[in-house]
Amino acid sequence: GWKMEDVLEEEIKVIKGMVGPEDHVICALSGGVDSTVAAKLVHKAIGDRLHCVFVDNGLLRYKERERVMDLFEKRLHLPVTCVDATEEFLSKLKGVTEPEMKRKIIGKEFINIFDLFAHDVEKKVGKKPTYLVQGTLYPDVIESCPPPGSGRTHSHTIKSHHNVGGLPKDMKLKLIEPLKLLFKDEVRELGKILDISEDFLKRHPFPGPGLAVRIPGDVTAGNSLDILRQVDEIFIQSIRDAKIYDEIWQAFAVFLPVKTVGVQGDQRTHSHAVALRAVTSQDGMTADWYYFDFKFLDDVSRKICNSVRGVNRVLLDITSKPPSTIEWE
Ligand code: XMP
């Protein structure tokens, strides 16, 4: 029950007091709600001494890079460097099928790219960046250390956390975590005050390793990424059109590395199957599969097979968590 206007004002005051006039601050944007709200808030406090980067790892959704860069630049007026690291990520993932190995490679490559960015900033401003902004929320904090007793401490030692992509090693950055005492719904409220659109603030979560955890096996094989992007976009757009997006915690398509026989037109086809997954959840720890109505499923299945080349079968994932996880890997 805090007033978010007061929280915002207080946070800005604290950040202004903490970050000296010569200090520079870096931030990796994921395109998600938390990092965007955190960056916008810090930008309000210190302006262009904040340097943000958005990394396209080649594992993003349909037009995701264009969409978030447009939001950052045109709507939020946040200075963001976009790095296209598709080649770097995909070449390292080639032939890798083991899920944990895929995650490790992606995490490590992210550190490399972020490290390069930090050094670019250093070259540009003539000084090593001092601070790193992270969109850590209160539930993440209580997961990794005891809750803060009184007052607000704004920098603590760097901990590993699944959203922490990794840190430039030789920089000894101090953390700025302006959302660290807030819950998700409070972050959304703060985002509204910062003039971030409600549509964006209600976006479903998206995992750091991206589409790699939605393509079992080698993500670089064939045109699986391209097919998955198209199927996912149709599914999400249909969910938006049906006005059920906000009832769902997460919805997405999964590419199956399986070919089955179909018949399309007068042609026998031997094409891929895809799965659709949608769940409701409070926090992602447990989840229930979402009950679509049959008409919706029928429409979306037809639409996918009619418009995505290389797909002739659509399956629905009807498992909850547990026993399944939300993602497929
Ligand atoms: P699972 O699949 O474990 O997912 O049931 C629970 C929630 O966490 C998200 N998720 C991730 N988020 N990096 C992230 O930032 C990850 O490596 C990662 N793995 C899973 C998932 O999308 C779901 O919301």
- Please name every residue paired with 81 in a beta bridge, in sequence order, or none if there are none: 53
Task: Please confirm whether the linkage preceding 323 is cis (ω < 30° from 0).
Answer: yes
Q: How far is the CA of 156 from the centre of ligand 1 (A)?
A: 24
Cα 249–chain centre separation = 14
Please, is 316 exposed, middle or buried when counting C-beta atoms within 10 Å of its C-beta (0-12, 13-18, 19+)?
middle
Q: What is the pLDDT of residues 244-268, one digit of tens each?
A: 999 999 999 999 999 999 999 899 9
Query: 250 CB less than 6 Å from ligand 1?
Result: yes
Residue 299 has a pLDDT of 98
Query: 104 CB less than 6 Å from ligand 1?
Result: no
Query: 207 CB less than 6 Å from ligand 1?
Result: yes
Q: H/E element holding 201?
A: helix 198-201
Query: 136 CB less than 6 Å from ligand 1?
Result: no
Residue 157 has a pLDDT of 35
Residue 144 has pLDDT above 60, yes or no: yes
Residue 159 pLDDT level (bands cut at 50, 70, 90): very low
Q: How far is the CA of 265 from the centre of ligand 1 (A)?
A: 39
Query: 33 CB less than 6 Å from ligand 1?
Result: no
Q: What is the pLDDT of residues 165-196, one digit of tens each?
A: 456 667 789 999 999 999 999 999 999 999 99
Number of the ligand 1 atom closest to the C-alpha atom of 205: 24
Residue 141 has a pLDDT of 80
Tokens matching residue 25: 């601050």
Name the residue of 33, 104, 162 to mutate for ligand 1: max ligand atoms within 8 A of Cβ.
162
Residue scoring higher pLDDT (160 or 290): 290
Number of the ligand 1 atom closest to the C-alpha atom of 162: 13
Number of the ligand 1 atom closest to the C-alpha atom of 325: 5
On the CB side of 71, how many CA atoms lie within 13 Å of its CA? 23
Number of the ligand 1 atom closest to the C-alpha atom of 206: 22
Predicted TM-score (pTM) of the model is: 0.91
In the predicted model, what is the mean pLDDT of residues 107-127? 96
Q: How far is the CA of 327 from the centre of ligand 1 (A)?
A: 7
In this prediction, does ipTM exceed 0.90?
yes
Q: What is the mean pLDDT of the chain?
A: 92
In the predicted model, what is the mean pLDDT of residues 215-227? 97
For the ranges 61-65, 83-87, 148-152, 205-209, the lowest mean pLDDT is seen at 148-152
* First CA to last CA distance, the chain: 37
**What is the pairing mode between strands 50-56 and 80-84?**
parallel
Q: What is the pLDDT of residues 302-323, one digit of tens each?
A: 999 999 999 999 999 999 999 9
Cα 160–chain centre separation = 17
Query: 209 CB less than 6 Å from ligand 1?
Result: yes
Cα separation, 91 vs 36, in Å, equals 29
At 77 the three-state DSSP class reads coil
Q: Whose CA is nearest to atom 19 of ligand 1?
A: 207
Q: Whose CA is nearest to atom 7 of ligand 1?
A: 284
Q: Whose CA is nearest to atom 11 of ligand 1?
A: 207
Query: 63 CB less than 6 Å from ligand 1?
Result: no
